[in-house]
Amino acid sequence: MGLPLPLIASIVAACLIVGYFVYGRFLARQFKLRDDVRTPAHEFEDGEDHVPTPRFYLLGQHLSAIAAAGPIVGPIAAAQQFGWLPAILWITFGVILIGAVHDFTALVASVRHRARSIAEIVREHVGPRAWGAMLAFIWIALVYVILAFTDTTAGTFVGISEELEGLDGGTIAFNKGGAVAAAAVMYLLLAVVMGLVQRKWKLPLWLVTAVFVPATLGVIWLGTQVSTALVFDQATWGGLILVYCFAASLIPVWMLLQPRGYLGGFVLYGVLAIGVYGVFFGGYEIQMPATTAAPTAGFEGSLFPFLFVTIACGACSGFHGLVCSGTTSKQIDKESHCTSVGYGAMLLEGLVALVALSTVMILTPAQLKAGGKPGALYGAGIAEFLSLIVGRDHLRFCQVFGTMAFSTFVFDTLDVATRLGRYILQELTGVQGRVGAAVATAATVGVPAVLLFLTGPGSFATFWTLFGTSNQLLAALTLLGISVWLRRTGRPCWFTVLLMLFIMTITVWSIIGQTMTFWAKRDQGGANVANAVVGVVLLSLAAFFAIESARALLKPREATA
């Protein structure tokens, strides 16, 4: 008999709640958040970027922006390699003590600096050379986001599930991967239609919601009916996804990014509700081993440091700092809202990671071995939870819904990462205009295209750990920049310094080990050489940033605003 899943999940949920009310409020007191101070949303209100937004709505928008595929793939991959117990411990305490602190401090720092980006804050308090190094580091990290997520998404678009044949009274051939692909394509087209409708007729939001949210479920069902219409191999889908990234980065945000993000938010909440129901009321027991003696998912490395960087966004994410300082800080209505939006949203992402981890905790070792990659396992798990509600007679729809939901989260990350990569290259080079945007976008998606060509389909494991390392090392650099600001203005900074030192140690340890491993395997493929070179570049940029930060700390303190 295994442990009851609801018992473990309840302990984790209780820890997250206590963390918010105890440590979250403690951090708020350290920054002395004040509601009588005008936030950038009010000071620069323009009706477009700077818009004071009610706390509840901003929380949902922020959560949908940060909770993409990272807290799904990372926890599942780590559990496959190390067992569920180390994974759930790092998710719980990592989110409360590190990830949420990183997000909260990045948001407050941006709000206190007129909603400027973390890179601009670094430029002011550390210096222009550190700013350039951080922008270069961010661009490389974004390239690895695109690289890892493109391959794992393409993998969900292929494959046939024999157990789904003939369900729902179906008499035609059924291809699960083709159904997911068709549903995903129609979902993106639906988002474009929604954007065009809103642009032309400016319909009330309630009416748009009433029409397009049910239509999202409709395209998922329609995907099950045309499952053989879009059947390609994984390499082809990888290329098509990168073409999508290129186009999505260049078209206006109102046409795709905003409507897709709005619909994706409903998908996220729906999946989270389904997952919570399945975890707490499904009556499941934990079948997966609590720990494993050796890697089982194709990764190399020991528990320390690779557990931390494999889980990646499930516990701490540097990408979140870009969101906090890029869009969310421009919409904070009151300073006190930073606690619920910045700190609270990361705790909710921890809940997303818990649901993802639960989808494999209930599997036996034999099922795990035959289950496949994290995206497919997650889709199957959400389908299992959904079938508790709608019945197993609709397993086709459940499976397509679960896997398509995963691809929905990934698309949200992919085009945002590509757009941010384009912005960074244009800022570094100074090349603007349509031609400059197209060239910067091509460079941002071109590197992942080359690496995927070198390694072939199904190679996400080659890149995932390096992606997780670069992402968490970016979080360490963000915390270092914030620590310099706090220290130079005479504010307490121990709670950011301690976290920065831990994450910096883990990620540097990890990246050195990965670089040595990739270099040792350089004769097995060009991708290993590329990864080794990237590892050296990331280490060099991080070291240069640390040196510049140390120099900044030796300068006279600034006057506290």
Distance between CA atoms of residues 514 and 464, nearest Å: 11
Of residues 525 and 207, more confidently modeled: 207
Strand, coil or helix: what is 285?
Answer: strand
CA dihedral (238, 242, 244, 247) in degrees, to 10, reads -170
Lowest-pLDDT range, 85-94, 183-192, 402-411, 471-480? 402-411
C-alpha distance across the termini of the chain, in Å: 60
pLDDT at 168 over 70: no
- Ordered alpha helix ranges (H), 203-255: 205-225, 234-250
Of residues 550 and 65, more confidently modeled: 550
Place of tokens 């018992």: 7
Of residues 286 and 172, more confidently modeled: 286
* Cβ count near 166 (within 10 Å): 12
pLDDT at 299 over 70: no
Contact criterion met (CB below 8 Å) for 156 and 72: no
Name, of 159-163, 417-421, 504-508, the range with top average pLDDT. Answer: 504-508
Of residues 181 and 64, more confidently modeled: 181
Write the pLDDT tens digit of every residue in 248-272. 889 887 888 778 878 888 888 899 9
Contact criterion met (CB below 8 Å) for 469 and 507: yes
What is the pLDDT, as a whole number, of residue 327?
Answer: 82
Place of tokens 């997780």: 468
What is the pLDDT, as a whole number, of residue 294?
Answer: 54
Taking each helix axis from N to C end, the angle separating 460-488 and 118-125, rounded to the nearest 10 degrees, works out to: 40
Taking each helix axis from N to C end, the angle separating 460-488 and 526-554, rounded to the nearest 10 degrees, works out to: 10
pLDDT at 122 over 90: yes
Bridge partner residues of 285 (DSSP): 4
Strand, coil or helix: what is 53?
Answer: strand
Of residues 57 and 271, more confidently modeled: 271
Of residues 323 and 16, more confidently modeled: 16
Distance between CA atoms of residues 423 and 242, nearest Å: 17
- Structure-token pair, residue 299: 């990764």
pLDDT at 22 over 70: yes
Lowest-pLDDT range, 58-62, 78-82, 479-483? 58-62
The residue type found at 157 is: F
Taking each helix axis from N to C end, the angle separating 460-488 and 494-520, rounded to the nearest 10 degrees, works out to: 150
Distance between CA atoms of residues 380 and 403, nearest Å: 7
Superfamily of domain 5-554, CATH level 4: Amino acid/polyamine transporter I (1.20.1740.10)
Beta carbons within 8 Å of 38's beta carbon, 6+ residues apart = none
Strand, coil or helix: what is 306?
Answer: helix
Q: How far is CA 92 from CA 87, 271, 304, 360, 420, in A?
A: 9, 20, 17, 17, 29
pLDDT at 87 over 60: yes
Lowest-pLDDT range, 106-110, 215-219, 326-330, 353-357? 326-330
Distance between CA atoms of residues 293 and 4, nearest Å: 23
Among 471, 469, 463, residue whose Cα is nearest residue 531 = 463
Q: Please state the rounded mean pLDDT for residues 8-30.
A: 96
Write the pLDDT tens digit of every residue in 338-361. 999 999 999 999 999 999 999 999
What is the pLDDT, as a whole number, of residue 69?
Answer: 77
What is the pLDDT, as a whole number, of residue 163?
Answer: 47
Place of tokens 């990965």: 514
Lowest-pLDDT range, 103-112, 406-415, 423-432, 454-463? 454-463
- Structure-token pair, residue 362: 């209930």
What is the pLDDT, as a whole number, of residue 417?
Answer: 85
Bridge partner residues of 53 (DSSP): 332
Contact criterion met (CB below 8 Å) for 558 and 491: no
Write the pLDDT tens digit of every residue in 198-230. 889 989 889 999 999 999 999 999 999 999 889
Q: Please state the rounded mean pLDDT for residues 90-108.
A: 96
Longest dimension (CA), the chain: 76
Distance between CA atoms of residues 62 and 372, nearest Å: 31
- Write the Ramachandran bin of 556: left for phi over 0, alpha for psi from -120 to 50, otherwise beta: beta
Place of tokens 């606690």: 339
Q: Please state the rounded mean pLDDT for residues 427-455.
A: 88
Q: How far is CA 448 from CA 73, 145, 162, 283, in A?
A: 19, 9, 33, 42
Phi, psi of 285 (to 5 degrees): -115, 155
Report, in this order, helix, strand and coil percent for the chain, each rounded to 5.
80, 0, 20
* Cβ count near 57 (within 10 Å): 11
